[in-house]
Each structure stands twice: as C-alpha cells, then as structure tokens.
Structure 1
C-alpha cells in the first residue's frame, strides 16, 4: 500500500511540476512523440488530465487493483505520446506498476495477501537496485567525468545561483558533485542488498535524492522514494506505520522545509522559466515534509532490522524474473547500440553516436543505430516572430535556423520542418539541403506536406521512435547534458 500510494503521488507531482513550468502548453503539446503515438492537442490534454485523476485515485486508494491498472494503462499511453524525450523515472514507474499488477493477479488467483504483497515489495526492491547499478555503469564515460558534463554543469548552475564566482572553488565543487554521484549510486545498491546494512543504504539514498530535489529534480527523486519505501519493514503491510508525532518529528519537518527554502535555486527562472512558480514551491515543500517522514520511518528500522524480509512464493519467481529481466535488458540497450533513451542513463552524457564509455569498447556493440543528419543549407524559413507562441515550433525553428550547428535525428528533422510550416499563418516553402550517410538530399516542405511526404527519393525510411537524443551539438566542445543543449534565440531560455 505504501509503495502504490507514494508512486501515485510521485507521478502526480511529475505532471503538476511540468504543468507549473510550461502551463497549458504541457497538456496540449505532442511533438516528436517518443513511441510515435501522435495525438491531437485536445486528445493529448484529455489523456494527461485522465492520468492525473488516476494518480489521485491510486494515492487515495493505493490498495485498489483497478486504480493500479488505470495508472499503468494511462502511463503507457503518456510514454508513447511523450514529446521528444521521455523521463527515465516514468519508465521505472511503469515497471514498478507492472510488479504491483503482478501482485494483484497473484491475489486474484488465491495467493495469500501477505505473499502477494511480498512479491510487490521484493520486485520493487530489485528494480531500485538495478536502477542504481545501471545508472552507475552508464556514467563510466568521459562525458560524465568531464567537469563540463551533466554533474559539472549542474554544480556550476548551483554555484551561479549562489554567487560563487571563484573558478578554482567552482571546479572543486564540480569534482565533488561528480565523485559523490558515482559513490552514492554504487554504495546505495550494495548497502540495500544486505539486510544488515539496509537502513544505512536507505539513509544514503534519501540524502542523495533529497540533494537532487533541492536543485530541482523532484519528480525523479519522488519516484525513487516510492521505490526505497519497498525496503521499509512494513512495505508489504496494508496500513501505514504509526510514527510518533513528537518534538523529533517537528524538528525533522522544520529542518527539511527550511533546507528546501534555503537551498533550492531561487534564480532558476534564468534557465527554465516557470509559468506558475508558486505551485512548484508547494510541491518542493511537500517533498521536504515527505523526506522528514522517511527519515523517521528509517530510524524505526534500526530498532527492528530483520522485519523487512519478505518470502516470495516459488511459483511467482518466474513472472517476477521476467519483469526484472525486461527492465535489465532495457537498461543494457546502449551497449547493444540499440538506444540510449529511457535506458536508465540518467544524466550520464552517454551517447551511442560518439561512444565514450571507459569500460565497454565500441567494437563490442552489435549494432550502430545512432544515425544523424546535418543541415547544410536552408531557405524559406519564416521569422521566429511568426511562430505565434508555439513552443514546439520555436524549438524546431531554433534548430533548423542554425545549419551545421546540430546533428539531428531524421525523425526530429522532418517533424520539425512540418511543425514550423504549419505554425505560421501564411504559405511558406522551405528548401533544405541535408547530408545523411555521406549523401546529400534536397528536402521541400510547405504547410500541406506531411513529415512522411517530405522524404526525398533515396532517403531511408525512419522509425517514429525516440531511441537516441533527437538533437546533439555538432561541436565536440559544445556543452551537452541530459537536460538538453538547445537555447532560445535570445539564449535566455533552455528549449531542449
């Protein structure tokens, strides 16, 4: 019950945070959908509203199998239609829901409730352990270990937010952020595996994810909190634990909220402007209170360290192993050359096109699916002022208007051309010269063209799947991170 409740709240927080950041555009936008499920604006908005309602249902009634099924089904549609880059934690949440549904099915077929709930707890535990191990493995590359990689860039942003200007001090903070991330992502799963060190592992995990939440990564941290809850002794119980509401609880709550308000970047609007900053602060504050509750809950586990052992019936190990195996295969896809997106490569700077892993050599990969085109020349693009506030069209225009600056996936390129052409209120004809696989192609586009009809003769067909980053900077010296590399025309806002 605790896992499902926290997971429903985490998914709801994900939706509300993006709604607070992008406003109604988040509900309406379906641009370069992850699994090719292209929806009209109204249908897309209805889907997300229904998904949020289902998340509320699962949070309020976490033991309802129908709520679990509703959230799982709607989340699958949300992922399939998610614009550009689906968040890794949504895929993790999907697998967690699959484990919860497996437990529901076991109960439906007469398995005692205690044993079916044990399936849920153990399955989620191993999903969390695999997530940490995969994330750690993916980060063993030159991009992440560079001071300009994701961890370094995030540390530099925090330094900028707090007016830390000394270059040497900034570099030290960058180095600490890189090392601490690797240490935590390896230490947490190792500690969680052994029952004797499980409490310490949960404390390290809470500290790690609370730190990430303080710099704005609340949605991912909230999903991981739901996963870490599976290691609590009462994770398989139907009732919430009765924690003492005494002075210790009050101090923990006040301290967590104070940290949220003192440490969370206050100048974050410079990079990612929020349409509704107030609700985002409320969610951050609630996450701080949840952290305080979690710390108190973990403190109780030290008094009863052996209570978290769950026995899974022998007949349920096979379907559970299948779910865990699929999750592991998804996470190992980068080493096969199939994809890097939604493979738990969180903030890793791992790219298949320019393989930079320090342990797994490029020659071991079976495929090389990361194929990009470059725009050499383009004529007929409308001005950015004609895009009528369409954020997806603004992103598309920004990428297309800089020939040679980016490497672009064919799926994104043709969808972007289409989006720009239909965003303006006058007829336009855009002609682009692109290079792909060593050949030059001429692409014609107008408002009546579809992405598929723009394909020139001889250009290979593409799959409508976001398996690799849609856009990469062409220069090897250009900064790139999980959060994106495309700035607005005035360079004041990050678009992707």
Structure 2
C-alpha cells in the first residue's frame, strides 16, 4: 500500500486515538473536582465520556461529549477554569466542523478519516495559540521575581511535599526559567518536522511533572494537553501502536505457564512497589485519582516512546495546519481574541493567564513590553476596595489590600441585592446599607457581559501575587 493510500487509514486510527484520549481528559477533569454527580450535566458528561472511551470510532459519541461540555460551560460561565474554557473552544471547533461538513455533504454519511482531516488542523492551531499566550503573559516583572513568581512558589511547595527535591532559593529561581524554557520549546519543537516527536515527548514529560504539584490537581489541564499533543504525532504512529500491542499479546500468549506466572509476579510486584511509594503522598481519598493519573501518564509516555523508536514520517507544518474550510478559522480567531483580553481592557480571568503573575489593571501594567495604551475598554480602570460587607460572596475580600473591578462588585451585588457593603472608589468612601436599593449596584448585568467578562482581585501595592 503506497503512502497516499495509507492516509485515510492513518487518519481513522488517529481519530480513534484522539477520541479515547479526549474521553479520558473529561474523566480526569471530573475527578479533579470530585464532581462526578454534582449536577445532571456532570452525570451526563461521565456517561458520554465512558461511552466514547468504549467506542472511540463513533463520531456521534464524540459529538455528544462535545455538545454536553459546551452546554455545561455556557451554563457555568464565567466561573470556569482556563483549561475547561479552552476545552470548550476545542469542542465548539469539532461541532462547527461537523456542522459544516454535514451541510456540505447534504445528508451523506461522514467518513471518520475525512472528519479528522477537517478538524485536526484547527485544533493544532488552537493549541499553538494557547502556548503563545501562556508564554506571552509570563513576560512580566513579577513572574521573573523569585519573591512573587508562581513558578518559584509552586516549586517550593512541591519540594516541601516531595522530600527528595532540594529546597533552596536558587532552585526556586531556576524553576522560573525552566518553566518558561519548556513552554517556549514545546510549541517550537512541534512546529519543526525533525523535532516534532521530541516536542511531543517534552510536552508529555513537562506536563506530567507539573501535574504532581500539590497546589492543585493540575492533571485536569495536563490530560487535555496529552490528547492534543497526539494530533501532532506522525500518521503511522497510530498504526504502529496497535501493531506493537498485538505483538506483545502474541509474545505473552506463547509463554509457558511458568513464564506467565513469573511475568504476573514481576508486574504485580512493580505495581505494589509503585503504590507503596505513592502512598506516602496520598493523604486524602481524592488523591487516589492522582495515583490513577500517574499510571496513565507513565503508560502514555511509554507507549509513545516505543512507537517513535521506529521510523515515523512526520508531515510538514503546512500540511498539519492547513484548514480545509477557511471560514472555520473563526474558531482559532476566537481563541486568539480570548487571549488578548487583558491587554485591551477586558477580562483578566480565563484569558490563559493562569499563574502568570500578570497585571494589566489600574494603569499599572507589569508586562515587559505591552503598554497600557492598548486598552480600548475601561473595565480594568474602574477599581474599588472593599472595606466591609455582609455578602458571603465578597466577605473574603474585606480587610485585604486588594482591588477588584467595579464590574465584579456589580456582579456580587446583583446576586445579593439586600447585602450591605462599604467600599472605596476613586478616593470616595461609599456605604450601602442592608436592603438599600442602589440601581448602579443592584441592576443586573447584561447577560452577555455577565457570561463573557470575569476579573480577578489585584494587589493595591507591591508585586502581583500568585493567583489563578
């Protein structure tokens, strides 16, 4: 079979691999928040993810999972995590691609290989855009300062948790440059044909490593990236993996009874040793999901390592990113727009600036080279400091040396219109008594703005502390 004839077969195998990894990413997301049955949508997401995992060649099961996640995201917005919003962009892209392909074919059956070839370039481009903003947002003075940097803080917490890691200021400072170097190298290596496999491996290792940090269960973010990394894999790697697995099965089936028992004993001892080692770090029932993630992570890295040893033909970058339908580039354009929000005066949360120490509010940006003058909107300039409140939503902000945009105070006040609140705004102290009807605060925000805009608290003075 010549190379051109093998492409549809490789695309179909790649689509099935992506579907299975994508379903696992949804499961690890649910596990990270322990929200299996928190709502009807979590229950439905669980069922859809399991259904797709069991039958990864079903386009309808993939579309069901994508649709459920997008609907759940729309309901929860804007109070969602960065990785879940980006997952929503990915799923919306898959749904839009299917809709376009269906309309174009006018009811004809959609081939799995063709569908993968249509949506995969868009997803690859969106992943590269995500890395672009993850790196861009970190080019600020506070991220490079060991006293305030999220990277330094996370390393020190990880060193405290894992006793074999050195605990020193020098290592914490090195974590800043190590983090940035990896996040720059991963997309660059993915873009070059000769280094693409190295880029995938670096991405798997780096995000597997940071997912072990006790600050948060970052495996929800890493599992999403693992699925997207494989979109950059050589076409024949998806055929090699099943072949290699079948080869292992044949070798095991030929073992004698004694050889089989020895293999079972060695495998069992290895698993018990790993679980016993992990036990010292598993302090809560939810940490069992971390153990499952570690086993999954090791399996993915091992599987990719064994397949890339053989000669794999990597496609050119142009072929990987070339969209079949140019109007679908609107979806990556939305990803780009979401990433530039902090610099144009819009939202500062869920703009892919997670743990970057970025500050753009109040005319005091800490970015190296993006000026405040680019801000077309004034939401970030209208800041208030909460001094007291009876509202459960904002009581935690009282007594802190922090600002929040007035937009967020309006959000909280419209949710609890009878709550009392005192705040400073433009140098003027204002107190709104319990039950007072102040139109500016109690008037509900427009639905579109309420769903799209979300701002984080910021420091009144000094460096921007490490927040999500």
| 1:231 paired residue number | 232
Give, in angstroms, the shift of residue 419 of structure 1: 7.8
| 1:14 paired residue number | 29
Q: Which has the higher helix share?
A: 2
Instruction: Report if aligned partners of 2:192, 2:317 keep a CA contact under 8 Å in 1.
Output: no
Structure 1 unpaired stretches of 5+: 28-44, 383-392, 422-428, 447-452, 483-496
Give matches, 1:372-451, under 5 Å.
372-378=383-389, 381=390, 393=392, 396-399=394-397, 402-410=398-406, 412-413=408-409, 431-445=420-434
Q: Distance in 2 between matches of 1:253 and 1:298?
A: 27
**Residues 1:351 and 1:99: Cα distance change in structure 2 (over 3 Å):** same
| 2:350 paired residue number | 342
CA deviation string 1:17-60 (max 9, x = no partner):
2117xx87xx2xxxxxxxxxxxxxxxxx1122112222222322
Q: Distance in 1 between matches of 2:322 and 2:77?
A: 41
Q: Distance in 1 between matches of 2:201 and 2:394?
A: 43
How many residue pairs align between the two structures?
Answer: 424
| 1:189 paired residue number | 187
CA deviation string 1:324-353 (max 9, x = no partner):
222222222222222232222232121321
Instruction: Report if aligned partners of 1:91, 1:342 keep a CA contact under 8 Å in 2.
Output: yes
Structure exhibiting the larger radius of gyration computed from Cα positions:
2
**Residues 1:409 and 1:455: Cα distance change in structure 2 (over 3 Å):** farther
Q: Distance in 1 between matches of 2:442 and 2:413?
A: 16
Instruction: Report if aligned partners of 2:421, 2:432 keep a CA contact under 8 Å in 1.
Output: yes
Give, in angstroms, the shift of residue 294 of structure 1: 3.1
Q: Distance in 2 between matches of 1:159 and 1:345?
A: 24
Secondary structure of 1:368's counterpart equals coil
Q: TM-score, normalised by structure 1?
A: 0.72
Secondary structure of 1:143's counterpart equals coil
| 1:450 paired residue number | none
Q: 1:52 aligns with which of 34, 43, 46?
A: 46
Q: Distance in 2 between matches of 1:133 and 1:313?
A: 16
| 1:324 paired residue number | 332
Q: Distance in 1 between matches of 2:62 and 2:439?
A: 45
| 2:141 paired residue number | 142
Q: Distance in 2 between matches of 1:256 and 1:189?
A: 34
Give, in angstroms, the shift of residue 199 of structure 1: 1.0
Secondary structure of 1:376's counterpart equals strand
Q: 2:82 aligns with which of 88, 97, 100?
A: 88
| 1:161 paired residue number | 161
**Residues 1:441 and 1:157: Cα distance change in structure 2 (over 3 Å):** same
| 1:209 paired residue number | 207
Secondary structure of 1:435's counterpart equals strand
Give, in angstroms, the shift of residue 181 of structure 1: 1.3
Task: Please provide the CA RMSD for this pair.
Answer: 4.1
Give, in angstroms, the shift of residue 253 of structure 1: 12
**Residues 1:258 and 1:82: Cα distance change in structure 2 (over 3 Å):** farther
Q: Distance in 1 between matches of 2:237 and 2:34?
A: 33
Secondary structure of 1:374's counterpart equals strand
Q: Distance in 2 between matches of 1:281 and 1:198?
A: 29
Q: Distance in 2 between matches of 1:416 and 1:171?
A: 40
CA deviation string 1:287-329 (max 9, x = no partner):
33233323334444xx123368895898823133222222222
**Residues 1:56 and 1:403: Cα distance change in structure 2 (over 3 Å):** same
Out of 341-350 and 472-481, give the one that drifted further. 472-481
Q: TM-score, normalised by structure 2?
A: 0.76
